[in-house]
Amino acid sequence: MLRAAIISPVALVCAGAVSGCEAGGEVSRFSPDYQGIETRLLDGDLVNFHVRMAGARTAEDVDRYAECAAAQYTLIRGYGFARHLRTNVDEEGGIWRGDAVYTISPALPRGLKTIDAEVVAADCAENGIPMV
C-alpha cells in the first residue's frame, strides 16, 4: 500500500534553496559583496593576494575568493597551476579580509593544496566570483 507524503511548503522551499535553511525553516540567502583584490608579486613565483568582502558566511567564502584571484592571476602570467601556502582570514564589523599566499608554476607542483588554474577560474566565473 502506498502512502502519500505530506510535505510542508517550507520544506519545499528549503530543499530547493541554494544556500540551505536555517533552524525554524527560514531560507538563508548568500549575497556576497566582493570589495576588491590586491595582488603583490613577492618573489619570482610567490604571490600574495589581499581580498576584502562583506556578506561572507564563513572564512571559507573568503578563502574561495582568494583562490579565484590566484587562479586568474596564474593564467594571466602564462602558468597553469598554483599551490596554496596559507590564508589568514579576519572579520571586523562585517568586513572580511583574507591574506593568501600561493606559488604559481607552469607544471603541477608537488604538494596537497594544488589547483588547476583553468578549472578553478572557470568555476569561479560560473559562480560569479570576481577575479583579478
pLDDT confidence of residue 28: 66
pLDDT confidence of residue 108: 92
Q: How many whole angstroms separate alpha carbon 21 and alpha carbon 46? A: 40
Q: What is the SS3 assignment for 122?
A: helix
pLDDT confidence of residue 115: 96
pLDDT confidence of residue 132: 82
pLDDT confidence of residue 14: 38
Q: Describe the crossing of helices 117-126 and 59-76 by its angle, rounded to 10 degrees.
A: 120
Ordered by where they begin, the domains of the chain are 1-30 (no CATH), 33-126 (3.30.70)
Q: What is the mean pLDDT of each run of 10 residues along the chain (132 residues)?
A: 38 40 60 97 96 97 98 97 98 98 95 95 96 87
pLDDT confidence of residue 7: 38
Contacts 24+ apart (CB under 8 A), 89-94: 89/59, 89/62, 89/63, 91/56, 91/59, 94/54, 94/55
Q: Strands across the sheet with 46-54, in order?
A: 33-43, 46-54, 95-105, 81-92, 114-116
Decide: residue 81, CB within 10 A, 0-12 exposed, 13-18 middle, 19+ buried: buried
pLDDT confidence of residue 93: 97
pLDDT confidence of residue 23: 52
Q: What is the pTM of this model?
A: 0.78
Provide CB contacts within 8 A for 115, sequence distance 6+.
67, 70, 71, 74, 81, 82, 83, 84
Q: What is the SS3 assignment for 46?
A: strand
